[in-house]
Amino acid sequence: MKTTEILLLLLCLNVVCFSALPSAPATCPADLGSECSGSGSDEWEGEFFPGIPKIKYEGPSSKNHLAFKWYNSEEVILGKKMKDWLRFSVAFWHTFRGSGADPFGAPTKFWPWEDGTNSLAMAKRRMRANFEFLEKLGVEWWCFHDKDISPDGKTLEENNANLDEVVALAKELQGSKIRLLWGTAQLFSHPRYMHGAATSSEVGVYAYAAAQVKKAMEVTHYLGGENYVFWGGREGYQTLLNTDMERELNHLARFLEAAVAYKKKIGFNGTLLIEPKPQEPTKHQYDWDAATSANFLRKYGLTGEFKLNIECNHATLSGHSCHHELETARINGLLGNIDANTGDPQIGWDTDQFLTDIGEATLVMLSVVRNGGLAPGGFNFDAKLRRESIDVEDLFIAHISGMDTLARGLRNVAKLIEDGSLSELVHKRYESFDTEIGALIEAGKADFELLEKKALEWGEPEVASGKQELAEMIFQSAL
């Protein structure tokens, strides 16, 4: 394998894939600095998406693939506008830096506005394309990683100066209509982060990561971001033989405490989020799933300062369903944001596909409605086109389909609530606790002596049917 191919493979193991084949005519990878620099102009003649109209709601009978069938932003469902329940956001990294490369293949997407460089001028042109895309799609939020919006320079100072320049343009383009859902620092693809960032065994890397996060928090704040996300990428290890897990977790907790202190210092009121993800591609991790992450936060006294960003594909990878992860986060008071995507149960990696399963979307929306919504979080489309989808309009089709799927999920939840039979079934299941003794148990006032007395008095208990198939039948009828 040529060095470049090995590099491509390594970068792609993370499957946020920053492709790096020299022959690729366009879509230059993020985070490769001078290896992929170039000069050019940020100017672009005319529209980036000519021929794509402003996407409108046309209703379920529409056959227009560039229209919404279920998402009607201003329509009120369950007391809130659809756009306020859903708070959709476009992920810059997938939509504008996704190249279609995977561990076995080269980039496939060569967007017309790309000039094959990772220059500052190209970063600005791409940013203009992002805002035209948001405007035409009718999405009011966006999310970014520092490294995918601006190229690295030769030093930390140069990186920061580049980021400042691109962010100034983004601020101008946001205007009063578009807002930032969250920002994050990409602390995984550069070789310096091979042992992790805040969990690296190298103090120099720990400090560098802190400087990078500090800057990313500053620009997130400057752009009016509502949240800031921490996502490991390389936090974890394959073996416990050569590592000191306890020491690393302590380093990480101290890092997060420093982030909380800095957030307060700069007056950033956004929510700090941790995004659970197993197989990063390591296996011993503090953030394997929602429950593991919640336990980490609790042990280090961070639960008041952090919430979770639940990603459906990561749920699949941890052996759970998205609904399970959302409910675990919700009942722990930690549901902050959703990375709206889905995995493939057979493929087994972070394929980050757009969610199109109506049943799954309905379960997702059930948790969101129970949570009273997600604000200040939202639904970030941490999702990309398949490798084989290479037309510019595919970017629109994918987002429209993902938005319609979740909108349909919301409509289904409204139907289930209106119908009432599912909640009645659940209520009935616990009816035996709606009694004097049940109330004592739930209030923590029933000791073992009392319970033994009751057991002797009642004899062998009667056990009712679980009615699982009935629950599934009622659920299906709402889809």
Residue 277 interacts with ligand XLS (CB under 6 A): yes or no: yes
Q: How far, in Å, CA of 262 to CA of 247, rounded?
A: 23
Does residue 89 bind ligand XLS (CB under 6 A)? no
Find the binder of ligand XLS among 72, 118, 184, 199 (CB under 6 A).
Answer: 184
3-class DSSP assignment, residue 80? strand
Based on the shown chain and the rule CB under 6 A, indicate whether residue 289 belongs to the binding site for ligand XLS: no
287 binds Ni ion (CB under 5 A): no
Q: Report 329-368 residues binding ligand XLS (CB under 6 A).
A: 339, 350
Q: Amino acid identity of 179?
A: R
In the complex with Ni ion, the residue whose CB is nearer, 146 or 382, is 382
Structure-token match 């995004």, residue found: 275
Are the C-beta atoms of residues 314 and 328 closer than 8 Å to each other? no
Among 66, 212, 219, which Cα is nearest to 137's?
66
Give kind and range of the element (H or E) at residue 308: strand 306-311
Other beta carbons within 10 angstroms of residue 447's beta carbon come to 10
* Contacting residue, 55, 123, 229, 398, with ligand XLS by CB under 6 A: 229
> Per-residue x/- marks for Ni ion, 181-210, CB under 5 A?
------------------------------
And the tokens for 335? 């549901």
In 3D, which of 59, 64, 17 has the Cα closest to residue 397?
64
CB of 308 to Ni ion, least distance (A): 11
Residue (16 or 166) nearer to ligand XLS, CB: 16
The answer to whether 382 contacts Ni ion (rule: CB under 5 A) is yes
CA 241 remoteness from chain centre: 32
From 94, 145, 221, 320, active-site residue: 145
Q: What is the contact mask toward Ni ion in residues 320 to 339, using x (rule: CB under 5 A)?
A: -------------------x
Q: In terms of CB distance, is 31 or 352 closer to Ni ion?
A: 352
* Short-list 200, 232, 189, CA closest to 30: 189
At 57, phi and psi to the nearest 5?
-80, 125
145 binds, among ligand XLS, Ni ion, none (CB under 5 to 8 A by kind): ligand XLS
d(CA 233, CA 282) in angstroms, rounded, equals: 9
What does the per-residue mask of binding to ligand XLS show for 366-395, with x meaning CB under 6 A?
----------------x-------------
User: Is 195 part of the annotated catalytic residue set?
Assistant: no
> Is residue 145 close enough to count as binding ligand XLS by CB under 6 A?
yes
3-class DSSP state of 353: strand
181-184-185 Cα angle (round to 5) = 165
* Chain positions contacting Ni ion, by CB under 5 A: 311, 339, 350, 382
Task: Point out the residues that are catalytic.
Answer: 145
* Chain positions contacting ligand XLS, by CB under 6 A: 16, 145, 184, 229, 231, 275, 277, 311, 339, 350, 382
